Amino acid sequence: MEWILATTSGVLLAAGFYSLLKRNLLQILIGILVLGHGASLVVFLSGGLKPGKPAFVPEGATVLGANQADPLPQALVLTAIVIGFGITGFVLMLFKQSWNVVGTLSTEAYRSSGSEGGNA
Amino acid sequence: MIITLPILLPLAGALIAIALGHLHALNRWIGIATSLLTLLVSVILLAAVDKAGVHVLHVGGWEAPFGIALVADRFGAVMVAVSCLVAFCASIYALKDIDDSLIKKHFVPLFLLLLMGVNGAYLTGDLFNLYVWFEVLLSSSFVLLVLGSEQKQLKGSLKYVVLNLLGSTFFLLGAGLLYGKVGTLNMADLAYKLSSHELSSLVNTSGILLLLAFGLKAGVFPLFFWLPNSYPTVPHTVSALFAGLLTKVGIYAIIRSMTLFLSGAQDDMKELLIAVALLTMVFGVLGAVAQKQIRQILSFHIISQVGYILAGVALLTVAGLAGAIFYLVHHIIVKSNLFFIAGMIQHQRGSDDLSKSGNLRKLSPVLATLFFISAFSLAGLPLLSGFWAKLAVLKAGLQEEAWLLSSCVVLVGIVTLLSMLKIWIGSFWSGNGTSDSGEPIKSHPLPLSMLLPSILLAILTLGLGIMGGELYSFSLRAAEDLMDPMNIIAPVLKISP
């Protein structure tokens, strides 16, 4: 099971980077999303998979038992997903506003912004 | 308990400011009051930490390594204090610089949440918690960056947003892999487990992912190009705030990780860090040569200064780290002030283009004095704080016999001086007060709310120059703390050294 998920996360990361290199803002956004999913999957896998085992730790225990899944990566992934959700919402609005103001989603229009930022 | 206040106070202020969002004038004063309170608390925390040693709080009563620990050592506490100082000055500066249309768009809550994120990053003892604080401060900075949604802001924000999100992904990957290998995310526990393991170099691959993420946020070579694109497009208050706070969090994370949980990798990473520091210094200062706008020049100088700080870190000696800490404190104060001054030049003359502003020496002697102190402190003229900062890094380099690094420190200092002279001549010295067509150039008087924060920071710069020894001996104490990971591990994990 691990190898399927490990391969999947690798494919997701590769696809994310590929999409990030595109010249369209929407494709870049998809790249960011897919990269985030790949990273989340890596974090989720980092605790090891124990299918069918609960992630509840008895009170007072300091070591993970053999019949317990590690709850920490699940909590981390949940946090990362929530943060990613918020950021995605922001980036979508940002790109929409850019579309309204700049008038294009092609990154070409964004290239020379810095060096003559004052009069752009 | 005081360790939580630099995080909780800005949060409380932000919530109140959102609730009273329709009262614009009150909103501004909430910003000022909150940042002043936070500054006072952080100074008390710094004094307490300097006197009584590392402060640890296990949040919610969950003992380390299971819960999240807040840790304040000398280095973290001084960073919090200086950041709060800059935030306080920025909140006053914002009175005139930020107009009501931006306040209406929740400038004050965003500003306070940014401060909360920065303070949280300096005070956390948990790697994943650090990731969360990074996201908090990034989200706030994203919105501050595009507040007002002018075309140039939107254009400049693209690189910043995309690259920082990429950096966050690397951070998450690194943290996840590190957890998979070591089974803990508490920085002290990580360091403890790795220090007693003979194969600790196996975490280097995860460590480099983290360093990549931190380096991107710090703006080191070759990851700096988002910085000069985005900083000059925002309101002056925001760019001063960004210059003082954002890249420093990245540098802080590099120092923290290299001295704590990646300390086993010091030998492997040393050459890489030195090379990166060198290139950052040189490329930053050369980038500034071609620029004509004051904020563009200053933005490139942030990069080269980050190189200096990294040079001190890369030596990984007590003297080097002390130099880096001294440099950080000096840099945050001076650089923010320079951005404030750039804002005042723009306010007074209507442009911060060097060819369009001139003769400020006569029009505004106060502004000229402020700029002189800050700019030539940045360049490292003797008796100003930058001189001692550069001297500390240089001395550490010479002690380690890093000749290339040391000569670069000197050479880049000279080019920095040239760059500051360019602004001085362009904006202050040249011109006779008339435009090309012979009419007198109109100039607006400077409001007190803009001058005061700048004067405060300039006095501090002078003070650090005259009393450089005090700060240096503090930096030495902080660096000695950092060099022995047990100083953090013992109080966090409650084991005797």
Residue B96 has a CB neighbour count (10 Å cut-off) of 17
Maximum average pLDDT range among B11-15, B221-225, B263-267: B11-15
Q: Which residues of B touch A32 (CB under 8 A)?
A: 162, 165-166, 169
Cα(B463)–Cα(B76) distance, rounded to whole angstroms? 22
Instruction: Indicate the residue type of A13.
Output: L
Q: How confident is the model at residue A59 (pLDDT cuts 50, 70, 90)?
A: confident
User: Pick the residue with more confidence: B198 or B418?
Assistant: B418
CB contact under 8 A, A117 and B296: yes
DSSP H or E run through B71: strand B69-72
Cα(B400)–Cα(A99) distance, rounded to whole angstroms? 53
The pLDDT of B451-479, averaged and rounded, is 89
User: Pick the residue with more confidence: A8 or B447?
Assistant: A8
CB contact under 8 A, B151 and A101: yes
Nearest CA in chain A to B231: A114
Number of H helices, E strands in chain B: 21, 2
Please give the model's pTM, rounded to 2 decimal places.
0.91
pLDDT on residue B355: 67
Please check the confidence at residue B212 and state whether its pLDDT lies above 50: yes
Give the best residue of B63, B133, B169, B184 to mutate against chain A (max A CB count within 10 A).
B169
Tokens 């691959």: give the residue: B205
- Produce one character per residue of B239-267: b if its CB has 16 or more CB atoms within 10 Å, e if not: bbbbbbbbbbbbbbbbbbbbbbbbbbbee
Q: How confident is the model at residue B358 (pLDDT cuts 50, 70, 90)?
A: low
Indicate the domain borders of chain B: 270-485
CB contact under 8 A, B166 and A20: yes
CB contact under 8 A, B139 and A107: no
pLDDT on residue B357: 64
Lowest mean pLDDT among A57-71, B278-292, B315-329: A57-71
Residue A115 has a CB neighbour count (10 Å cut-off) of 16
User: Pick the residue with more confidence: B63 or B464?
Assistant: B464
Please check the confidence at residue B448 and state whether its pLDDT lies above 70: yes
Q: Nearest to residue B409, comparing CAs of B421, B423, B396, B393?
A: B393
Cα(B299)–Cα(B142) distance, rounded to whole angstroms? 18
Lowest mean pLDDT among B60-64, B179-183, B451-455: B60-64
DSSP H or E run through B111: helix B107-123
Cβ atoms of residues B397 and B409 within 8 Å: yes
Chain A residues within 8 Å of chain B (Cβ atoms): 20, 25, 28, 32, 35-36, 38-40, 42-48, 62, 72-73, 76, 79-80, 83, 86-87, 90-91, 94, 97-98, 101-102, 107, 109-110, 113-115, 117-118, 120
pLDDT on residue B12: 94
Q: What are A68-111's pLDDT values in tens digits?
A: 888 888 889 999 999 999 999 999 998 888 888 888 888 877 76
pLDDT on residue A18: 94
Tell whether B148 is within 8 A of chain A (Cβ).
no
CB contact under 8 A, B161 and A91: yes
pLDDT on residue A114: 44
CB contact under 8 A, B162 and A47: no
Nearest CA in chain A to B67: A72
Cβ atoms of residues B232 and B296 within 8 Å: yes
Number of H helices, E strands in chain A: 3, 0
What is the distance between the terminal CA atoms of chain B, rounded to a whole angstrom? 24
Cβ atoms of residues B326 and B334 within 8 Å: no
Lowest mean pLDDT among A29-43, B35-49, B285-299: B285-299
pLDDT on residue A118: 38
> Taking the C-alpha atoms of B397, B400, B404 and B409 in order, what is their torsion angle to the nearest 10 degrees?
0
Residue B186's beta-bridge partner residues?
B126
Q: What are B309-342's pLDDT values in tens digits?
A: 998 888 888 888 999 999 999 999 999 999 998 8
Domains detected in chain A: 2-50+68-107 (1.10.287.3510)
> In whole numbers, what is the pLDDT of chain B averaged over residues?
86
CB contact under 8 A, A90 and B139: yes
pLDDT on residue B434: 55
CB contact under 8 A, A91 and B180: no
Contacts of B376 (CB under 8 A, 6+ apart): B384, B386, B417, B420
The pLDDT of B478-489, averaged and rounded, is 86
